[in-house]
Structure 1
C-alpha cells in the first residue's frame, strides 16, 4: 500500500512537470448586454438574444452545451456573460496536445474543456 502511494505521488509530480494547459484563441468569450431590464419584471434582467430572464447576482449555466457565468446587475440593467466554447484539435495538434473534457455538471469555469500540451 505504501509503495503504491509513493508511485502515485511520483507519477503525479511527473505529469505536473511535463504537462501544462494551453489557452486557445476563441476558447473563452465574454459579452455585455446593455439595457437588460425586463419590461414586465423590474427585479429581473432579460437577455434579449436568448429571451432568458436572470435574477440579480451571479448565475452559472451549462445548458445546450454552453458553460457560462452570467451576472445580472439590476442597478445598471446590464448582463455580463463569460463562457467557453467547445474545443477540438486539428490533425497537427494531436501530436502535441490532448483535451480534458470539462465536468458539464459543474459551474463555470469547471465545465470548460482544457487543452493540455504534452511538453517534452
Structure 2
C-alpha cells in the first residue's frame, strides 16, 4: 500500500465559513484517518474541542466481528454457530404447500 502522507503527526484542515467576515476553522485529524479518507473509505468518529479549544477529530477504532461457523447446509437454509448462539435460517418457496412445509420443518428440528 502506497503512503500518501509522509508524517505521522496530525494534519490540520482549514474551512472557510460563507459570511461577510472570513472565518477559518482548524480541525486536527490523525494521519491514519486521512489515509483511509484518501482511499475512499467512510470514517466514523467524534468531533470535539480539546482542553486548548482546538477542534479535534478522533476516529472510532472498531474491530470486525468474527464470522459465524457453518455447521450444516439444509435443504432450504443453513445452521451456523457463533460464540453465544446457534443460528438456524430457513426460507421455503410458497409453491411447496402447507403440508410439505410442515414436513420439512418437522424433519429439520
Higher RCO, Cα 8 Å, sep 6+: 1
State the TM-score, normalizing by the size of structure 1: 0.27
Normalised by the length of structure 2, the TM-score is: 0.29
* Higher Rg of the two aligned structures: 2
